[in-house]
Chains A and B, each alone.
Chain A
Amino acid sequence: DAGVTQSPTHLIKTRGQQVTLRCSPKSGHDTVSWYQQALGQGPQFIFQYYEEEERQRGNFPDRFSGHQFPNYSSELNVNALLLGDSALYLCASSLGRNTGELFFGEGSRLTVL
């Protein structure tokens, strides 16, 4: 049974560029959440997708957007990249949106130069 898979695992971008990160949830899960983990810090909630709609959002600017597809997979898009966007981006899936029991992927490491 495949867990949460994320791609790419590592990528390097320059300031002002745009990036798309992808996530496939654990089999049977219908909800996807995204978190940003800066070096040496705990993960910060970006947003949650359920039934192809953004259901909850953390304190992140509109440059951060997402999408959920009918097969429950998800994308995170970040526009106009800043140096401060360099972080590990974690995708988590769950069965239902009202649970704290999340299954996390290994993350996508984004470096902005």
Chain B
Amino acid sequence: AQSVTQLDSHVSVSEGTPVLLRCNYSSSYSPSLFWYVQHPNKGLQLLLKYTSAATLVKGINGFEAEFKKSETSFHLTKPSAHMSDAAEYFCVVTATDSWGKLQFGAGTQVVVTP
């Protein structure tokens, strides 16, 4: 079985400062990991994915995440927050024996202040 734990339910940052969203995973198999973003009244959108290639993954809108097997972590970062980054972010895991069945974390709400 696989699961993810998002360590912060809410994160508040000032515009222009770094963003860090923390995610730990648990998986019996070699996992594939994703970050999805959900803006208010919008559909979930894929930010980036890790599928056992490079451990540092770059995504859209300046986000990146690093897969650390020794720490079972997949934290999401962005060097400089923008007001448009205010949204809910979900860390997601799927296993190679159940591709397409995504296991979502509880989400991290990001607030960006001017």
Contact = CB atoms under 8 A, between A and B. Distances in A.
B45 to A, nearest CB: 7
Contacts of B94: 100
Interface in A39-76: 40-45, 48, 55-56, 58
Main secondary structure of the interface of B (DSSP, over half): loop
B74 interface: no
Nearest to A47: B101
Interface residues of B, number: 23
A104 B102 CA distance: 12
Given A100-B32, A100-B49, A100-B92, A43 B101 contact: no
Contacts of A90: 43-44
Interface residues of A, number: 29
A104 B100 contact: no
B80 to A, nearest CB: 27
B99 A106 contact: no
A29 interface: no
Given A100-B34, A102-B46, A56 B98 contact: yes
B44 A97 contact: no
A99 B107 contact: no
A55 B98 CA distance: 10
Given A3-B43, A104-B43, A104-B45, A45 B101 contact: yes
Contact of B44 (A43, A44, A48, A56): A43
A107 interface: yes
Nearest to A55: B100
B96 to A, nearest CB: 9
B43 A105 contact: yes
Given A33-B100, A43-B104, 11 more contacts: A43-B90, A55-B100, A97-B99, A98-B99, A100-B32, A100-B94, A100-B99, A100-B100, A100-B102, A104-B45, A106-B43
Interface of B: 32, 34, 41-46, 49, 51, 90, 92, 94, 98-107
13 contacts: A33-B102, A42-B105, A42-B106, A42-B107, A43-B90, A48-B100, A56-B98, A58-B101, A92-B44, A98-B100, A99-B99, A100-B99, A103-B43
